[in-house]
């Protein structure tokens, strides 16, 4: 009889802030949610630091590398790509390896304090990607 192992992955992501060209109508993506922002994030894809960290944690938990190994940062085919697509890929790898997602905890460290009012929306949106109850994400 084989017992399931508990696997843990740790993900981290950081992107540089840039001056926005869009003024007050600018948004950045955080856990799949458009959040109003007075700056842009330098990235090849949508620059979603929340999902990127989760993707790295998922891939790391099953010894499948990191997001850059699957979606090279300089590859133009990923220009502007939604990170939810990368997340689906990472979840498929986790499931192919016979594992499942139980819980996720992420910490977002930002230069500007503005995201607390979006926390619950980010949690609910993230949970929908994983088919988890919101209380499985903290």
pLDDT at 130: 67
DSSP assignment of 33-81 equals EEEE-SEEE--SS---HHHHHHHHHHHHHTT---HHHHS-TT-GGGTT-
Sign of the CA dihedral running 67, 71, 74, 77: negative
**pLDDT number for residue 2:** 58
| Per-residue pLDDT tens digits for 18-69 | 888 777 788 899 999 998 888 888 999 999 999 999 999 999 999 999 999 9
pTM of the model: 0.85
Query: Contact 62/93 with Cβ under 8 angstroms?
Result: yes
Q: Which of 1-15, 23-37, 103-117, 122-136 has the lowest mean pLDDT?
A: 122-136
Query: What pLDDT score does 111 carry?
Result: 73
Give all domains of the chain, ordered by start, each with its CATH number: 16-136 (3.30.1330.50)
């Amino acid at each position: 009889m084989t017992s399931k192992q508990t696997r843990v992955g740790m993900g981290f992501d950081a992107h540089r802030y840039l001056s926005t060209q869009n003024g007050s109508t600018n948004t950045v993506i955080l856990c799949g949610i458009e959040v109003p922002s007075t700056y842009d994030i330098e990235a090849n894809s949508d620059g979603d630091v929340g999902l990127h960290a989760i993707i790295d944690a998922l891939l790391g938990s099953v010894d499948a590398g990191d997001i850059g190994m699957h979606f090279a940062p300089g590859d133009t085919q990923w220009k502007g790509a939604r990170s939810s697509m990368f997340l689906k890929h990472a979840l498929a790898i986790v499931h192919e390896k016979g594992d499942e997602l139980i819980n996720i905890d992420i910490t977002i460290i930002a230069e500007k304090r503005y995201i607390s009012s979006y926390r619950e929306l980010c949690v609910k949106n993230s949970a929908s990607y994983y088919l988890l109850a919101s209380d499985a994400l903290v």
